[in-house]
Amino acid sequence: MAAVMSDDEQPGGHQSGGSVASVRRKQRGTRRHMGAPTIADVAREANCSPMTVSRVINSEGNVRDATRDQVMAAIAKLNYSPNRAARSLAGGEQARIALLFDNPSASYLSEFLMGALEEASRRDVQLVVQSCDSSTAAMVLVRNLAEGGIQGFILPPPLCDDQQVLDLVAELDAIAVAVGPGKAQGSQGAVLIDDFQAAYDMTRHIIGLGHERIGFIIGNPEQVAADRRLNGYLAAMKDAGLDVNDNLIVQGRFTYRSGMDGAEKLLSVTPRPTAIFASNDDMAAATVAVAHRRQLDVPNDITVCGFDDTDMASSIWPELTTIRQPIREMTAWAVEAITRMIRAKRRGERSRPEQETLPYTLVRRESDAAPSLTTRPTQPRTGR
């Protein structure tokens, strides 16, 4: 280390003085403020060239994992963040991408935005956030934006399941990345979780608690993910050898209000289900509310589980057992991927779209429990 330092100690060189941050740019001599850490500082810290750091930052390929990690560590240590001005100066142009949303669940949205905005600012891409309330509105918007120089679109559900929109984006020679689509289309980028498996796992979890009559509230039929969750539920029920009672499956639309309606229906069924699995947290929260209104304790009288782990899940009481989608990471990934694709495209490369499946986790909180004896099926459970 010391050797390295003394090696480039000649004045007039490109280096700074010491290895400690506070000594940085000790006497840069000629010019200006000793300000933020630069890419060179990171490079020194990570023991590589600035160019390699740049590659890491821009998530280009051809960097060994070990190197990448070192660089990442250095970045974290120095609290480095790239200088926007220099970047757009050197790079030619700033990437501009739009984030369209048409999503009823506000809490989902906020997570979503967080991930995107944070990553966007980190990567110095310009993010245009636009809400649009219908598929046709989306069409107009996409066209306008693309003509206004937007090179890529990030599409959350349900937009990402809208073939029309997708086609239009492709036609306009822009790039689309879907976040959490029901199904990865071949033609565009996508980040998703395995909705089927997650719903399967959650259902197994509930079954494992001892429940047999498990209600399910389906999500918005326009979103393919809703189907997959339903299928996961069905498969788990089937695998456990449990009856799937059609009365215990009701349609919702991912909104709180629709969750209330669904829960009302489910809780009116006799015998009452001992657990309800809602396709998202908003509906689960609504279910808790309805249960409470009916003087049912959650989880002692009824187990309620959600999906998504939006912040509503942990801001109500009891806090929801739910599936945590790493929404933030997903959006961040989307931003990263889309900028990478835009850059690649600018360089004339023809990269086919990237896709990624991120891991979910089942977050166990306070809204689930074994069924109470009184509400238990008359016939004692036998299986597993």
Q: Where are the alpha helices (DSSP H) in 189-310?
A: 195-208, 224-239, 256-268, 281-293
- Closest to 112 in 3D by CA, of 85, 131, 84, 94: 131
- The full DSSP string for 109-130 is HHHHHHHHHHHHHHHT-EEEEE
3-state secondary structure of 152: strand
**Rounded alpha-carbon distances, angstroms, from residue 272 to 219, 266, 306, 366, 374:** 21, 7, 19, 20, 11
3-state secondary structure of 284: helix
If binding is defined by CB under 8 A, does position 109 make contact with its own copies?
yes
Least Cβ distance, residue 10 to DNA (angstroms): 10
d(CA 266, CA 105): 22
54 binds, among its own copies, DNA, none (CB under 5 to 8 A by kind): DNA
Interface residues toward DNA, by CB under 7 A: 8, 12, 14, 25, 28-33, 35-36, 38-40, 47-52, 54-55, 57-58, 61-64, 66-68, 80, 82-83, 86-87, 89-92, 343, 347
Q: Which residues contact 374 (CB under 8 A, 6 or more apart)?
A: none
Nearer to DNA among residue 39 and residue 127 (C-beta)? 39
Nearer to its own copies among residue 111 and residue 161 (C-beta)? 111
48 binds, among its own copies, DNA, none (CB under 5 to 8 A by kind): DNA
CB atoms within 10 A of CB 46: 23
Contact yes or no for 63/55 (Cβ under 8 A): yes
If binding is defined by CB under 8 A, does position 120 make contact with its own copies?
yes
Least Cβ distance, residue 88 to DNA (angstroms): 8
374 binds, among its own copies, DNA, none (CB under 5 to 8 A by kind): none
85, 186, 246, 380: residue in contact with its own copies (rule CB under 8 A): 85
d(CA 236, CA 239): 5
Residues 228-247: x where in contact with its own copies by CB under 8 A, - otherwise, as a string = --------------------
Site for its own copies in 279-308 (CB under 8 A): 282, 285-286, 288-289, 292-293, 295
**Rounded alpha-carbon distances, angstroms, from residue 324 to 255, 338, 362:** 18, 24, 6
The contact set with its own copies (CB under 8 A) reads 21-22, 31-37, 78-81, 83-89, 92, 94, 96, 104-107, 109-111, 113-114, 117-118, 120-121, 124, 126-129, 144-145, 147-150, 255-257, 260, 282, 285-286, 288-289, 292-293, 295, 310-312, 314-317
